[in-house]
Amino acid sequence: MARAAPALLPGIAVLAGLALLVGGALGALLAAAPAGASASLWGDTYLGRVIVFTLWQASLSALISVGMAVAVARALARRAEFPGRDLLLRLFGLPLVIPVIVAVLGMVAVYGQNGMVNRLLAGTGLPTGQFLYGLSGILIAHVFFNMPLAARLLLYAWQSIPGETWRLASQLGMSSGQIFRLIEWPLLRQVIPGVAGLVFMLCFTSFTVVLTLGGGPGGTIIEVAIYQALRLDFDLTRAVTLALIQIALCAAFVGCGLLFARAVSTAPTEGRLLGRPDVASRGGRIADALVIVVAAIIVLLPLVAVIGAGLRGPLVDVLADATLWRAAARSLTIALSAGVLALVLGWAILLTSRELRMRRRRPRAAEAVELSGSLVLVVSPIVLGAGLFVALMPLTDVFSVGLELVIVVNAMMGLPYVIRLLGPPLMRVAEQHDRLCDSLGIAGWNRLGLIEWPALRRPAGLALAVCSALAMGDLGAIALFGTRETATLPLLLYQRMGSYRLDEAAVTALVLVTMCLALFVVIERGMGGRGAR
């Protein structure tokens, strides 16, 4: 155990930092709570209903999103030459990073009373329907947000299947069904719990979507109750307690899900690319094409609505506005700083979980480390913001470090994505090269440069792109701390909306979407090398 402590250190340090930040924020808020009774949580039927609904909608959303993502990822894996596949995969990164309010209006334009779908139905004489407001609307929106990313994450599982496996499969003459059962499913079983857990957490706190598309207050999630407690009631104790309940429930649910994960060890491979044997059949080809087209429609229609609204808006006026470009520059600074920070911190967490999993054979401990890193996603942003504010107030002028705070908070929110995107390939590298590295004594920076980087640059590029784009589209953190004059793009968008200027807001959204897409292309190409996808 010569390499004992140092190998575990990076992740432990990051997690300790996270715990300090979150714990400090919640603790400071509790300490600031004015004396006096906080509304009791016991026997609160409203709260009981809210918790049940939160779990219900998040579970359903995760189930449907990941179920569809499996089908989509499989079809995409089988059809590497599908026309437009690369572009589609890039566009798959967008739904999650568009500001929620823009995406919601996009959903309305497609699925609403007067949306594309209903107009199409009316045009063909079919009965139109109202299905956007209620649980169905919440689910439609959550599939739009999460299915594409889940599909991208799952696609990696397929890409990790070594060529030798396919050679064996074709030698044995396996059918499509046998391939799924014997090759794909064991692998999926390893990654699905993590991906589903991520989607579950995202839907758990999806405040604006649930309120706006829920149709009425029947669809209330815990985050709304927190908002209510912290703002009008100013019941800090209740707000913090609810925030803790939210974290604990997510930890329990996602943790249980992870218990189903079974580690599959892969043997060293020659790294040869060989096609799978079951792609030639006509039926399979049609089925795959159908799945891909349906997925493309689900993702593209709302994006088309958002882009279309932007193109119809006062393009020239908005693009000529210097404020827009100042905000864009500021957003870019935040996006790249937060993205790089998230990548570094997430990598550190993964090094520790890899050490636990691979060398110490402690897979449960490794899962726990990764889950702790992901749970920041369900720390109520409004509680975190208020808590950080109170905690930092005695130490510094919070406004003067506002930009740094926003970067740190956005980086934290990116961690779960880094862990999901980079985790599996990082483990695989270790499986395939650990023995070689040990026998040749390759370690430290040498190992990073020679062994890890070539294998990881593509997923690392995607992780950086996703985290940067997320930070670019995030309004939450910047709104929490308050701003002086310089706005970010999402803030500018909200301000325009708040001032009746919805057409200008639509153009701002177009600029934001374009910049996010550019971030994806530039970072993935730049870091992943040519041919990255």
Partner 1 sequence: MIKPIAIVAGMFIAGMAFPAAAANHQPTLTVYTYSSFVSEWGPGPAIKQAFEADCACELDFVGLEDGVSVLSRLRLEGANTKADVVLGLDTSIMAEARATGLLAPHGVDLDHLALPDAWDDDVFVPFDYGFFAVVYDKTRLADPPTSLDELVNGDPAEKIVIQDPRTSTPGLGLLLWMQKVYGDDAPDAWAKLNARVLTVTKGWSEAYGMFLDGEAPMVLSYTTSPAYHAIVEQEDRFVAAAFTEGHYMQIEVAALVGSAAEPELARRFLRFVVSPGFQSTIPTGNWMYPVIELPEGLPPEFAALPRPAAALLIAPEAVAANRKAWIDAWLEAMSR
Q: Please give the residues from 372 up to 431 whose contact with partner 1 meets the rule CB under 8 A.
A: 386, 389-390, 393-394, 397, 399
- Touching partner 1, residues 335-364 (CB under 8 A): 336-337, 340
Q: How far is the CB of 213 from partner 1 (least distance, A)?
A: 7
Longest alpha-carbon distance in the chain:
75
**Exposed e or buried b for every residue in 262-288, given b needs 16+ CB within 10 A?**
eeeeeeeeeeeebebbbeeeeeeeebb
Burial of 6 (0-12, 13-18, 19+ CB in 10 A): exposed
Residue type, 304: V
Residue 281 binds partner 1, judged by CB under 8 A: no
Q: 69 or 110, CB closer to partner 1?
A: 110
Q: 161 or 224, CB closer to partner 1?
A: 224
* 92 vs 469: CA distance, rounded Å: 12
- Spatial neighbors of 77 by CB under 8 A, at least 6 apart, are 155, 158, 159
Tokens coding 79: 């059809």
Q: Give the x-and-dash track for 158-197 against partner 1 (CB under 8 A).
A: ----------------------------------------
Out of 14, 72, 94, 105, which residue is the one contacting partner 1 (CB under 8 A)?
Answer: 105
Out of 211, 296, 350, 369, which residue is the one contacting partner 1 (CB under 8 A)?
Answer: 211
Residue 320 binds partner 1, judged by CB under 8 A: no
Residue type, 40: S
Element (H, E) at 507: helix 502-528
Q: How far is the CB of 90 from partner 1 (least distance, A)?
A: 17
Residue 140 binds partner 1, judged by CB under 8 A: no
Out of 213, 240, 303, 377, which residue is the one contacting partner 1 (CB under 8 A)?
Answer: 213
Residue 227 binds partner 1, judged by CB under 8 A: yes
Q: 34 or 283, CB closer to partner 1?
A: 34
Residue 217 binds partner 1, judged by CB under 8 A: yes
* 209 vs 56: CA distance, rounded Å: 15
Q: Is there a contact between 292 and 76 (Cβ–Cβ < 8 Å)?
A: yes
- Touching partner 1, residues 465-484 (CB under 8 A): 479-480, 482-484
Q: Give the x-and-dash track for 12-51 against partner 1 (CB under 8 A).
A: --------------------x-------------x-----
Pick from 206, 488, 334: nearest CA to 496: 488
Residue 533 binds partner 1, judged by CB under 8 A: no
- Looking at beta carbons, which pairs linking 34-40 to residues 24 or more positions away fall under 8 Å? 34/236, 38/235, 38/236, 38/237, 38/238, 38/241, 39/229, 39/233, 39/235, 39/238
User: Helix or strand or coil: residue 125?
Assistant: coil
Residue 218 binds partner 1, judged by CB under 8 A: yes
Q: How far is the CB of 312 from partner 1 (least distance, A)?
A: 11
Q: How far is the CB of 450 from partner 1 (least distance, A)?
A: 12
Q: How far is the CB of 499 from partner 1 (least distance, A)?
A: 4
Q: How far is the CB of 320 from partner 1 (least distance, A)?
A: 13
In the DSSP assignment, the letter for residue 359 is I
| DSSP secondary structure letters along 231-298 | TTS--HHHHHHHHHHHHHHHHHHHHHHHHT----------------TT---HHHHHHHHHHHHHHHHH
Q: Give the x-and-dash track for 62-101 against partner 1 (CB under 8 A).
A: ---------------------------------------x
- Total residues contacting partner 1 (rule CB under 8 A)? 72
Q: How far is the CB of 113 from partner 1 (least distance, A)?
A: 6
Q: Give the x-and-dash track for 495-514 against partner 1 (CB under 8 A).
A: xxxxxxxx------------
* 14 vs 20: CA distance, rounded Å: 10
Out of 61, 69, 133, 425, which residue is the one contacting partner 1 (CB under 8 A)?
Answer: 133
Out of 35, 232, 280, 395, which residue is the one contacting partner 1 (CB under 8 A)?
Answer: 232
Out of 299, 494, 510, 512, which residue is the one contacting partner 1 (CB under 8 A)?
Answer: 494
| DSSP secondary structure letters along 149-188 | HHHHHHHHHHHTS-HHHHHHHHHTT--HHHHIIIIIHHHH
Pick from 185, 469, 489, 497: nearest CA to 342: 469
Q: How far is the CB of 105 from partner 1 (least distance, A)?
A: 5
